[in-house]
């Protein structure tokens, strides 16, 4: 009896989750009009650009080589990376650093020639503790955090763009 009810319980759970709007974290639906995009970024934002391309391809969005062939443009105006000392040891050597990665960008709808997000600014911060006994490991750890921050900023940027589309969809319905 219980064996026969188990598949029905699983089916009921799946139906409930699909009806409540559940979706995986980080994956928000993009509209069908967002099919192709052009990304323009300075050389200093090369790794961020690659991360954006990777995330867009996960959404099945085509990244165009030239701006005229795209419906939308993501233009990274500048990236800024700072390393600030936040804690000093008794021997006056830095023990903790705060890594700050800031991206300024704008998002353009080329079909309507409209600057959708004119002054987008995203910031990601991490706190890194330096250990004098494993100095090489600490440097590797910092590089790891920088890469993680770039991944985070790419996801934040797509989340902001997705939020724009969600807001527009709600405004169009009203």
Q: pLDDT at position 96, please? A: 81
Residue 145 is assigned to a structural domain of this protein: yes
Residue 9 is assigned to a structural domain of this protein: no
CATH number for the domain including 91? Answer: 3.30.160.150
User: Residue 104's beta-bridge partner residues?
Assistant: 78, 121
Q: Which tokens sit at 2?
A: 């219980």
Number of domains, the chain: 1
Q: pLDDT at position 156, please? A: 92
Residue 106 is assigned to a structural domain of this protein: yes
Whole-prediction pTM value? 0.74
From the CB of residue 51, how many other CB atoms can be counted at a distance below 10 Å? Answer: 20
Residue range of the domain that includes 163? 31-173
Does residue 77 sit in helix, strand or coil?
A: strand
Gap between the terminal Cα atoms of the chain = 50
Residue 5 is assigned to a structural domain of this protein: no
Which portions of the chain are predicted below pLDDT 70? 1-2, 16-29, 89, 92-94, 131-139, 169-174
Q: pLDDT at position 137, please? A: 58
């Amino acid at each position: 009896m219980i064996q026969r009810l188990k598949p029905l319980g699983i089916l009921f759970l799946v139906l409930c989750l699909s009806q409540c709007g559940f979706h995986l974290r980080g994956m928000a639906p993009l509209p069908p009009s967002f099919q192709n995009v052009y990304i323009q970024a300075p050389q200093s934002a090369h790794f961020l650009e690659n991360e954006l391309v990777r995330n867009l391809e996960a959404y099945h969005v085509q990244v165009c080589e030239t701006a005229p062939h795209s419906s939308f443009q993501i233009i990274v105006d500048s990236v800024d990376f700072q390393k600030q000392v936040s804690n000093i040891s008794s021997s006056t050597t830095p023990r903790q650093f705060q890594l700050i990665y800031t991206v300024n960008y704008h998002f353009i709808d080329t079909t309507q020639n409209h600057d959708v997000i004119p002054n987008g600014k995203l910031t990601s911060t991490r706190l890194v503790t330096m250990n004098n006994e494993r100095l090489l490991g600490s440097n590797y750890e910092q590089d790891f955090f920088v890469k993680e921050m770039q991944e985070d900023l790419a996801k934040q940027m797509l989340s902001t763009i997705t939020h724009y589309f969600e807001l527009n969809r709600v405004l169009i319905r009203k």
